[in-house]
Amino acid sequence: MFEQIERVPGDPILGLIDAFNQDVNPSKIDLGVGVYRDAQGHTPILRAVKEAEALLLARETTKSYIGSHGDPQYGQHLLSLVLGSQSPVLEAKRACATQAPGGTGALRLAADFIHKTLPQAKVWVSRPTWPNHLSIFEAAGVPTRDYAYVDAATNSLDFESMLADLQEVAAGDVVLLHACCHNPSGFDLSEHQWQKIADLAEDKGFLPLIDFAYQGFGLGLEEDAYGVRLLAERLPEVIITSSCSKNFGLYRERLGTLIMVAANHDQMQNVKSQVAVVARANYSNPPAHGGAIVTTILESTELTAYWLQELDEMRTRILDLRHAFVNALKPQGLGDKFACIAEQKGMFSYTGLTPEQVDRLRDEYSIYMVRSGRINIAGINDQTLPYLCQAIAKVCQ
Ligand code: PMP
- The model's pLDDT over 269-280, given as tens digits with 9 standing for 90+, comes to 999 999 999 999
Which ipTM did the prediction report? 0.99
Contact call for residues 350 and 155 (beta carbons, < 8 A): yes
pLDDT class of 377 with cuts at 50, 70, 90: very high
**Stretch 99-103: mean pLDDT:** 98
Distance 328 CA to ligand 1 centre (A): 30
- The model's pLDDT over 307-327, given as tens digits with 9 standing for 90+, comes to 999 999 999 999 999 999 999
**Cβ of residue 130 lying under 6 Å from some atom of ligand 1:** yes
Distance 285 CA to ligand 1 centre (A): 20
Report the nearest atom of ligand 1 relative to the CA of 106.
Answer: 14
| Helices 159-166 and 191-204: angle between axes, nearest 10 degrees | 10
Asked whether the predicted pLDDT for residue 50 surpasses 90, the reply is: yes
Report the nearest atom of ligand 1 relative to the CA of 254.
Answer: 16
What residues contact residue 130 under an 8 Å CB cut-off, 6+ apart?
Answer: 178, 183, 184, 211, 213
Q: What is the residue-averaged pLDDT of the chain?
A: 96
CATH, range 10-43+303-396 = 3.90.1150.10
Asked whether the predicted pLDDT for residue 267 surpasses 90, the reply is: yes
**Cβ of residue 213 lying under 6 Å from some atom of ligand 1:** yes
What pLDDT is recorded for position 32? 92
Residue ranges of domains in the chain: 10-43+303-396, 65-299
Contact call for residues 217 and 315 (beta carbons, < 8 A): yes
Is the N-terminal amide bond of 128 cis, ω within 30° of 0? Answer: yes
What pLDDT is recorded for position 13? 80
Q: Which fold would CATH assign to domain 65-299? A: Aspartate Aminotransferase; domain 2 (3.40.640)
Q: Which residues pair with 66 in a beta bridge?
A: none
pLDDT class of 15 with cuts at 50, 70, 90: confident
The residue contributing the CA closest to ligand 1 atom 12 is 103
**Cβ of residue 243 lying under 6 Å from some atom of ligand 1:** yes
Pairwise CA distance, residues 196 & 229, whole Å: 14
The residues assigned a catalytic role are 130, 211, 246
- The model's pLDDT over 55-74, given as tens digits with 9 standing for 90+, comes to 999 999 999 999 999 999 99
> Which of 243, 248, 345, 347 should be mutated for ligand 1, with most atoms under 8 A from CB?
243
Distance 390 CA to ligand 1 centre (A): 32
Nearest in space to 304 (alpha carbons), one of 347, 248, 258, 346: 248
Cα 340-360-336 angle, rounded to 5 deg: 20
Share above pLDDT 70 across residues of the chain, in percent, rounded to a whole number = 100
- The model's pLDDT over 332-353, given as tens digits with 9 standing for 90+, comes to 889 889 999 999 999 999 999 9
Pairwise CA distance, residues 346 & 104, whole Å: 18
* Phi-psi category of residue 84: left, alpha or beta, with phi > 0 → left and psi -120 to 50 → alpha: left
Distance 216 CA to ligand 1 centre (A): 14
- The model's pLDDT over 113-127, given as tens digits with 9 standing for 90+, comes to 999 999 999 999 999
Chain centre distance of CA 187: 13
Contact call for residues 188 and 223 (beta carbons, < 8 A): no
What pLDDT is recorded for position 335? 87
